[in-house]
């Protein structure tokens, strides 16, 4: 399983902004809305409890959104 965690829409993401600002200097034009998050890979015997795990620990629901993917 894979969990993607990203800053909530509307919350200032200075990491994403810093990456975005660096791109033109490297010759990458036309790239916007860069956001930097985290990825957690794990194996779960009972995937039904993964959302609970995300809410409790992997993400802070006040500032982050998460997405659970089955590989």
Partner 1 sequence: MIWGVLQFPGSCDERDALHACTLASGGARLIWHEDRDLGGIDGVIVPGGFSYGDYLRAGAIARFSPAMEAVAELADAGGPVLGICNGFQVLCEAGLLPGALLRNENLRFVCRQLDLVDEGSARELSPSEGGQPADRSLLSIPAKHGEGRYYAPEPMLDELERNGQVAYRYAPGQNPNGSVRDIAGVRNETGNVLGLMPHPEHAVDPLTGSTDGLSVFRSLERFAA
Is residue 62 close enough to count as binding partner 1 by CB under 8 A? yes
Is residue 15 close enough to count as binding partner 1 by CB under 8 A? yes
Applying CB under 8 A, among 14, 27, 30, 32 the residue interacting with partner 1 is 14
Contact 61, 6 (CB under 8 A): no
Is residue 11 close enough to count as binding partner 1 by CB under 8 A? yes
One DSSP character per residue, 52-70 reads: HHIIIII--TTTEEEEEE-
Applying CB under 8 A, among 1, 18, 31, 51 the residue interacting with partner 1 is 18
Tokens of 56: 């409790």
């Amino acid at each position: 399983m894979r969990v993607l965690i990203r800053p909530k829409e509307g919350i200032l993401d200075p990491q994403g902004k810093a990456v975005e600002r660096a791109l033109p200097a490297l010759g990458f034009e036309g790239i916007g809305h860069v956001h930097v998050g985290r990825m957690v890979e794990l194996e779960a015997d009972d995937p039904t409890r993964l959302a609970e795990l995300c809410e409790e620990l992997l993400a802070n629901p006040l500032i982050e959104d998460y997405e659970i993917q089955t590989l």
